[in-house]
């Protein structure tokens, strides 16, 4: 339970009124801010309660979706950070509907169609999200071209090359050849992919409207998803081209789940982490957390590919492979949330006080960087909400420092 700030501050001398509310000095950033549960300038929790942990890092309240803990395995509030609560719900249902469609195609024996839908499902949802949140501001063609488009192009090139590298080797008999293939699949290709996937998105780094880490994160995820589409199309081109329209569904159920969910999530999340870390570097904040992110992305990808290959090689049940992939993808996903949460708190710039409606708690607020009521970082609000902010200067000359 949150301790009302009015109780904590009862002992302090009264401060000048901020029109409707009261202005108080934040214990953490020393700015004068409208009274609220969270500081609108630095995002710190203003209450002191053992349950909420460190009020400055407030890990019980994820800055993009304050209703959730930072350590929470949620796909949509992590990879689609601009979505409000209601929209998250819609996107979840859209994913479920897409998966149901794939299942139907599978049951009808339309494997080629099922593979195609699986390849495009999550990337298309992401395209809708980019449109919904207007992350690209006024440059949709440039942003989509360098993220999803660029990822797709590098995905085509790299996968064509790697498919040629791996296939001939695997035709040799013997342990050495197998080990070589395994090394390539388990280490070489994942590392190569992580190096190549972020490249197109980097061309957007110096563009003025996209300097926030949350922009880099979204661009990285988009590039990773574009890559994932190309990878699936090339790797399964033989199946897509040569399989008759109607086939026996056979053992396709788990591979389809990998193609529709876990592979795109892995490719999007790892590149999201790496591009977000590069954006942090551009802001002069590449530290332990960012190095950790790059490491988690690389190790996660290696564990995913190597583990899947070894389990398949050892003839484990395909369900075990899928469970392995789900568990492994969870690691980078949670790290991405952690990275975004701390970036949002650390990069809190003074956006000027303005009247707006919080996209998370729907309260009408006067705020700078964070909703004083629920603590949402308003940089993560959809662009149309950010554009509808109405400036409202604090009355009575309160401190504007930092
Ligand atoms: Zn503060
Ligand atoms: Zn709010």
From ligand 2's centre to the CA of 360, what distance in Å? 5
**Over 70: is that where the pLDDT of 343 sits?**
yes
Residue 78: the pLDDT is 97
For residue 101, what pLDDT band results from cuts at 50, 70 and 90? very high
From ligand 1's centre to the CA of 12, what distance in Å? 17
- In this structure, of 26-35, 140-149, 212-221, 301-310, the range with the lowest mean pLDDT score is 26-35
Helices (H), 314-377: 318-346
From ligand 2's centre to the CA of 375, what distance in Å? 6
**Over 80: is that where the pLDDT of 123 sits?**
yes
How does pLDDT run across 198-252, given as a tens digit for each residue?
Answer: 999 999 998 888 999 999 999 999 999 999 999 999 999 988 888 777 777 778 8
The pairing of strands 390-391 and 354-357 is antiparallel
**Over 60: is that where the pLDDT of 12 sits?**
no
From ligand 2's centre to the CA of 376, what distance in Å? 6
**Over 70: is that where the pLDDT of 16 sits?**
no
Please name which ligand lies nearest the alpha carbon of 67: 2
For residue 92, what pLDDT band results from cuts at 50, 70 and 90? very high
Please name which ligand lies nearest the alpha carbon of 66: 2
From ligand 2's centre to the CA of 65, what distance in Å? 9
Please name which ligand lies nearest the alpha carbon of 376: 2
Contact status, residue 3 vs residue 9, Cβ threshold 8 Å: no
Contact status, residue 5 vs residue 55, Cβ threshold 8 Å: no
Question: What is the pTM assigned to this prediction?
Answer: 0.90
Close Cβ partners of 373 (under 8 Å, ≥ 6 residues apart) = 36, 37, 38, 358, 361, 363, 365
Please name which ligand lies nearest the alpha carbon of 84: 2
From ligand 2's centre to the CA of 367, what distance in Å? 10
Kind and range of the H or E run holding 197: none
Pick the more confident residue, 293 or 209.
Answer: 293
From ligand 1's centre to the CA of 27, what distance in Å? 6
From ligand 1's centre to the CA of 88, what distance in Å? 29
From ligand 1's centre to the CA of 390, what distance in Å? 22
Please name which ligand lies nearest the alpha carbon of 362: 2
């Amino acid at each position: 339970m949150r301790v009302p700030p009015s109780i904590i501050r009862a002992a302090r001398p009264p401060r000048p009124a901020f029109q409707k509310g009261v202005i108080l000095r934040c214990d953490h950033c020393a700015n004068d801010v409208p009274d609220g549960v969270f500081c609108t300038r630095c995002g710190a929790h203003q209450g002191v309660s053992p349950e909420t942990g460190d009020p400055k890092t407030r890990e019980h309240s994820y800055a993009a979706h304050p209703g959730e803990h930072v350590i929470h395995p949620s796909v949509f509030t992590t990879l689609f950070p601009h979505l409000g609560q209601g929209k998250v719900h819609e996107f979840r249902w859209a994913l479920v509907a897409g998966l149901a469609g794939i299942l139907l195609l599978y049951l009808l024996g339309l494997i080629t169609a099922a593979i195609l839908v699986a390849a495009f499902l999550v990337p298309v949802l992401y395209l809708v999200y980019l449109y919904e949140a207007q992350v690209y501001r006024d440059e949709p063609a440039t942003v989509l071209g360098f993220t999803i488009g660029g990822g797709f192009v590098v995905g085509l090139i790299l996968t064509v090359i790697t498919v040629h590298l791996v296939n001939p080797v695997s035709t040799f008999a013997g342990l050495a050849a197998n080990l070589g293939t395994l090394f390539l699949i388990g280490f070489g290709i994942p590392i190569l992919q992580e190096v190549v996937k972020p490249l197109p998105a980097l061309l957007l780094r110096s563009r003025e409207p996209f300097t926030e880490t949350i922009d880099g994160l979204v661009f990285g995820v988009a590039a990773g998803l574009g890559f994932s589409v190309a990878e699936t199309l090339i790797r399964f081109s033989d199946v897509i081209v040569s399989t008759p329209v109607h086939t026996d569904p056979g053992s396709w159920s788990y591979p389809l789940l990998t193609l529709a969910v876990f592979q795109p999530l892995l490719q999007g999340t790892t590149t999201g982490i790496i591009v977000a870390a590069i954006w942090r570097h551009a802001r002069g904040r590449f530290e332990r957390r960012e190095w950790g992110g790059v490491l988690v992305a690389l190790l996660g990808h290696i564990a995913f590919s190597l583990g899947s290959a070894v389990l398949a090689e050892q003839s484990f049940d395909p369900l075990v492979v899928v469970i392995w992939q789900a568990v492994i993808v969870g690691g980078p996903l949670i790290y991405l949330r952690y990275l975004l949460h701390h970036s949002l708190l650390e990069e809190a710039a003074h956006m000027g006080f303005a009247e707006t409606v919080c996209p998370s708690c729907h309260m009408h607020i006067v705020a700078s960087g964070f909703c004083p009521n629920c603590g949402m970082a308003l940089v993560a609000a959809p662009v149309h909400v950010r554009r509808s902010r109405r400036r409202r200067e604090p009355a009575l000359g309160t401190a504007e420092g930092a």
